[in-house]
Structure formats: structure tokens, C-alpha cells
Amino acid sequence: MADQPTKQDYFRLIHSLVHSYEEDEVTYTDRYYLKIFDQFGNKNFFIKWNWAAFLFGPYWLGYRRMYGLAIAFFVLFAIPFQIDDISILTKGSMSYYFVVLIHWMFEFLFLGLFGNAIYFMSLRKRIERKESAGGTNGWFIFVPLIALILALLIPWG
């Protein structure tokens, strides 16, 4: 089994993901994630609220370059729209909107509670693969927007 990543490993990776390599200044993002590392170390599972993950859900995952999870959450997000007259869930009924609301609340609460743990697992994998380049991806927000526009333009039946 490989050695556990150290705080310095996380710092180097987080810093390189957020800044260019020439920047030496420790920023708010660096301090935020290093503080979390100080609290939880290399634990695989922990709960630490993340407002960005809660508010932006799959967009936050994509922005943090966790593309597979972002796509999975976008698919989960779309499931309620695919429900077509199943049992008591008729589109447009109050029960339908209630189920959709509960579904979305669960998804966003899950990311708000466990987003930091998911991000640290992603960072740990990057460290193990010895990835050094990365960064946040602001362009990711346009991919689902374009997909949504295309989905609205396609006649589904």
C-alpha cells in the first residue's frame, strides 16, 4: 500500500489546481482546503459543509474537474423529468412536484455535506497518479447549458 498523502502533497496539488505555478501567495482557497485537511487528515469519509457544492451541485463537481461525477449528477438531476405517468406521479400533479423537490433537495444536500470528502478523494487519486497539472475549469458551466438547450430543442414525443 502506498504512503498516505501528506499535508504538503495536498497543498502542492490544491495550489497548482487553483493557481499558476509562479504564484507563491497562499490564497483563501488554499487556506480553506488546508484547514479541512488539518481537521480530517486522510480520512476517507467525513462531513464538512460546502456551500459551493450545495448551491451549484454538478456544476461545482465539473468546476473541480470531477467530470464523471458531474455527469452522473446531471443524469440524476434529469431523472424526475423522465418520469412519465408512473403510479401516482403524473406530470403536473402536486405529488410529482413534491417528488422532484425531494429528489433535488437530497442531491444538493448530499453534495453540500460530502462535497469536501469527495473532493479530497479526488485529490488523493491525483496525488497517487502523480498528476501535477490541473486547475479549475470555468468552461465546464457551458457544457450542461448547451446540453440543456439542445434537450429543449429536440422534440421528445
- Top pLDDT among 110 and 152 is at 110
As given in the structure block, the three cell numbers for residue 34 are 488546508
Span of 57-66, 107-116, 122-131 with lowest mean pLDDT: 122-131
Residue-level length of the chain: 157
Q: For residues 136 and 64, is the Cβ–Cβ distance under 8 A?
A: yes
pLDDT at 111: 94
Note the pTM of the prediction, 2 decimals: 0.69
Q: For residues 125 and 5, is the Cβ–Cβ distance under 8 A?
A: no
Q: For residues 29 and 18, is the Cβ–Cβ distance under 8 A?
A: yes
pLDDT at 96: 72
As given in the structure block, the three cell numbers for residue 109 are 444536500
pLDDT at 133 over 60: no
pLDDT at 80: 64
All structural domains of the chain with their residue ranges: 7-153
pLDDT band for 113, please (50, 70, 90 cuts).
very high
The beta-carbon contacts of 77-86 under 8 Å, at least 24 apart in sequence, are: 77/104, 77/107, 79/103, 80/104
Q: pLDDT per residue over 23-70, tens digit each?
A: 556 667 777 877 887 787 777 788 999 999 999 888 888 888 888 898
pLDDT at 109: 95
In this prediction, what percent of the chain has a pLDDT beyond 70? 63
pLDDT at 90 over 70: no
pLDDT at 15: 61
pLDDT at 20 over 50: no
pLDDT at 54: 94
As given in the structure block, the three cell numbers for residue 18 are 487553483
